[in-house]
A = this chain, B = another copy of it.
Amino acid sequence: MNKPERLRATDIAYSSIRQGLIAGRWPAGSHLRETELADEFGISRTPVREALRRLASEQMVEFEPHLGVRVPGWSEQDLAEIFALRVELESFAAGEAARHATPDHVEALRQLARDMEQAAFGGPQPDYVRITEANDRFHRLIVTASGNRRLMSLIGTLIELPLVIRTFARFDTKAMARSVQHHFDLADAIADRNADWAIAVMRAHIHAGRQVMLKKTAGDD
């Protein structure tokens, strides 16, 4: 009874372009031409336009009438703004999750924390893809568990950015261990239904991530 989940050309364009943006396929400042993308995906300009506008509304690209879309560059101010907002929204999500999470949520959070730990320290070297995957799902699950459906779309525009996604490759062993520990702490706080604790850990968690970013990007790119 699973629906075939129709594949619309718009979704193909959206996912592909988005993936390209996250993967850093186009340098900052690049001009994304509708025709080129359409040809590449074997579809027409219409769905490409739709995908680009959607990405623009999520601030994944910059759009200007008659000029098209450009891949934005990330200034230090952008970075500061994004992390400041993440501190507020994700800590709020954690607090709400502590109030509304089900036992299933808690168990899933713990499993994801273990996955992340395994991916980080279970092998000869960290598996950054798995780490990122587990981290991403962990943070999303907290938003889901918060029960606030609008929160997801707000936070979505903040965490799915190239410079946030690829953060983990920049973590040293200590920072990685701290990050994993935070996830276990968050699961504990939420299991304990202690909103204050959850909020505090999440604030600390995002601040820590921000500091790693700021240090490492100083002389980067």
Interface residues of A (CB under 8 A from B): 6, 8, 46, 49-50, 53-54, 57-59, 65-66, 78, 81-82, 84-85, 88-89, 92, 96, 148-151, 153-154, 157-158
Which residues from B are CB-within-8-Å of A81? Answer: 148-151
Residue of A46, A89, A96 contacting most chain B CB atoms (<10 Å): A89
Contact of A53 among B54, B92, B154 (CB under 8 A): B54
Give bound CA distance, A61 to B3, whole Å: 24
CB-based nearest B residue for A153: B59
Q: Let me know if A154 and B154 touch, CB within 8 A.
A: yes
Q: Let me know if B6 and A65 touch, CB within 8 A.
A: yes
Give bound CA distance, A85 to B88, whole Å: 10
Q: Let me know if B59 and A57 touch, CB within 8 A.
A: no
Residue of A81, A149, A157 contacting most chain B CB atoms (<10 Å): A81
Q: How far is the CB of A128 from chain B (nearest CB, A)?
A: 27
Give bound CA distance, A154 to B82, whole Å: 11
Give bound CA distance, A132 to B130, whole Å: 49
Q: Let me know if A8 and B65 touch, CB within 8 A.
A: yes
- 7 closest A-B pairs by beta carbon, nearest first, are A57-B57, A81-B148, A88-B92, A81-B150, A154-B154, A88-B88, A50-B53
Which residues from B are CB-within-8-Å of A151? Answer: 81, 85
Q: How far is the CB of A6 from chain B (nearest CB, A)?
A: 7
Which residues from B are CB-within-8-Å of A85? Answer: 92, 148, 150-151, 154
Give bound CA distance, A6 to B154, whole Å: 30
With A46-B46, A84-B148 already in contact, 11 other A-B pairs whose C-beta atoms are closer than 8 Å: A6-B65, A8-B65, A50-B50, A53-B54, A54-B57, A59-B150, A59-B153, A82-B150, A84-B92, A85-B150, A153-B157
Q: How far is the CB of A208 from chain B (nearest CB, A)?
A: 20
Contact of A58 among B57, B82, B84 (CB under 8 A): B57
Which residues from B are CB-within-8-Å of A53? Answer: 50, 53-54
Give bound CA distance, A66 to B5, whole Å: 12
